[in-house]
A = this chain, B = another copy of it.
Amino acid sequence: MPEKTLSSERIYEGRIVNLRIDQTEVKGKPALREVVEHPGGVAILAFDENERVFCVKQYRYAQQRMMLELPAGKLERKEDPLETGKRELQEETGYQAEHWLFLGELIPTGAYLEEKIWMYAASGLSYVGQHLDEDEELELMRFSLEELTTMILDQTIIDAKTIAMVLKVRLMKEKGLLPF
């Protein structure tokens, strides 16, 4: 263990995040670590029958701006990430997917944040009905991978998970690594 926890104090317990302050020891020297606790989340790149990808446009209060992102949501207590993915895709887009592929984990900002995002690609969609959270308001849109790539290059898309997932899936498709 490169860093030993000496003491730990939870400063805040909230709805989405907790905040914890740990006193640690690195190579015999004391250090203070602020840790934002978060249950983790799931993001989904879902292809429709025309190879277009579902995106959501929504106001992000912490950023004070509208953002275009792939559908995503946080894990409920002890929920399996794939179940979260299925639930969030349906809640935000109204669609269920037949095929799911795990694309790996993504760490948004590992320096002080516990959050981990499980990334999935999905296809074989059928409509079952949208069901948003009460304080959620979003515009559903669809774009081809090439349109999304253009919006990444021209800086319309600035969300980290969306850039990482679109370009990773684009690359996998190029290399024949995507089974659908």
A residues contacting B by CB (< 8 A) are 2-3, 11-12, 14-17, 19, 21-22, 24, 26-27, 29, 31-36, 59-63, 66-67, 69, 104-117, 134-135, 137, 149, 152-153, 155, 158-161, 163-164, 167-168, 171-172, 175, 177
Contacts and interface: CB of A to CB of B under 8 A. Distances in A.
Nearest to A102: B155
A63 B158 contact: no
Given A107-B63, A109-B115, A113-B109, A168 B171 contact: no
B107 A67 contact: yes
Contacts of A26: 135, 137
Contacts of A175: 153
